[in-house]
């Protein structure tokens, strides 16, 4: 693992994956990248970040897009490629960070400093979180959750060979409903420190 540490966190909607990623970033003193990645990309290109965020983590519509000699009309593809390139650049420069989603577990696989995590959850717990966070009724929360997961799955499976949420693609898949968010973070922190210790030979 060396000195570089990249923590990629894939997540089911409502599982608390984003909160877990944030907590891990804080505990390891690393920057957290999610949709804010596009702000940095936009700044570099001298354009408005909002125009890129419209297409963030969305899958392209095959019927309404076309490819010609490697060029595509799909804005979703372009935004995804920009993020993948940006992540590769950061990782290539040896930087450490926490990244939420964006196929990072596959795109950054070649870096030995990568720890890839997928956070899932029990349906009831996830719905409860979504209801509280977005102030929705149960049915609406369930619908929102299903739609978001469907989108993430399509986005991921379009850009990667491995399937979204398939435990074989990640170092660690964990159900946040079992221990709760806080203890899940503790558990993951311990795991990551153990991984670091194995590589550096220092106690975790």
Partner 1 sequence: MVAQIVAVTIFIVMFALIISEKIERHVASLGCGLLMLILVFGVCMHSGSAVLNTLNVGSIFTPGFWYSAGETSESPAGINWETIFFITGMMVMVEGMGRAGFFRWLCLCIARLVKYKAVRIFITFMMMSFVLAMFIDSITVILFLAAVTVELARLLQFNPVPVILAEVFCANLGGSATMCGDPPNIIIGTSLGYTFSDFVTNTGLIALICLVFVIIYFYICFRRELGSGQTDVQVSSLNPGDAIENKKDFTISCMIFAVTVVLLVTHAQTGLTVSTIGTVIGIVTLITAGRDAVVLLKKVDYKTLVFFIGLFVVVGGLEQTGILEVIAGFIADISEGNAMLMIAIVLWISAVASAFVDNIPFAATMIPIIKSLAASQGVALPVLAWTLAIGTDIGGSATPIGASANVVGISVAAKNGHMIGWGRYCRYMAPATILVVLISMVCIYLRYF
Q: By rule CB under 8 A, what string of x and - marks binding of each residue 6-45 to partner 1?
A: -----------------------------------xx--x
Residue 161 binds to partner 1 (criterion: CB under 8 A)? no
Q: By rule CB under 8 A, what string of x and - marks binding of each residue 82-121 to partner 1?
A: x---------------------------------------
As a whole number of angstroms, the distance between CA 119 and CA 23 comes to: 13
Nearer to partner 1, 61 or 202 (CB): 61
Stretch that binds partner 1, among 4-12, 19-27, 65-73, 160-168 (CB under 8 A): 65-73
Rounded to the nearest 5°, which phi and psi values hold at 141? -65, -45
| Residue in 4, 72, 96, 173 binding partner 1, rule: CB under 8 A | 72
- Minimum distance between the CB of residue 86 and partner 1, rounded to whole angstroms? 12
First to last CA, the chain: 13
120, β-bridge pairs: 175
How many residues of this chain interact with partner 1, rule: CB under 8 A? 24
Phi-psi region of 52 (alpha: psi -120 to 50; beta: other; left: phi over 0): alpha
- Minimum distance between the CB of residue 48 and partner 1, rounded to whole angstroms? 9
Residues 6+ apart with CB under 8 A from 116: 8, 10, 104, 105, 109, 169, 170, 171, 172
As a whole number of angstroms, the distance between CA 95 and CA 28 comes to: 13
Residues in contact with partner 1 by CB under 8 A are: 41-42, 45-47, 51-52, 54-55, 62-69, 71-73, 75, 78-79, 82
């Amino acid at each position: 693992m060396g000195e570089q540490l990249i923590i990629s966190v894939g997540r089911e909607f409502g599982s608390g994956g984003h909160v877990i990623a944030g907590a891990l970033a804080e505990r390891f003193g690393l920057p957290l990248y999610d949709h804010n990645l596009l702000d940095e990309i936009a700044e570099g290109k001298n354009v408005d970040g909002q125009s890129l965020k419209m297409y963030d983590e969305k899958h392209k519509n095959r019927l309404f897009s076309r490819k010609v000699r490697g060029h595509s009309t799909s804005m979703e593809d372009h935004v995804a490629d920009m993020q993948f390139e940006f992540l590769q650049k950061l990782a290539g420069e040896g930087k450490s960070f926490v990244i939420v989603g964006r196929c990072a577990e596959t795109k950054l696989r070649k870096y030995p400093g990568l720890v890839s995590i997928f956070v899932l959850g029990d349906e009831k717990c996830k719905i409860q979180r979504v209801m509280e966070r977005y102030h929705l009724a149960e049915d609406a929360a369930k619908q929102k959750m299903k739609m978001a997961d469907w989108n993430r799955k399509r986005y991921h499976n379009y850009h990667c060979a491995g399937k979204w949420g398939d435990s074989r693609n990640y170092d660690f898949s964990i159900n946040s409903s079992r221990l709760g968010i806080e203890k899940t973070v503790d558990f993951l922190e311990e795991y990551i420190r153990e991984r670091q210790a194995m590589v550096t030979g220092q106690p975790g």
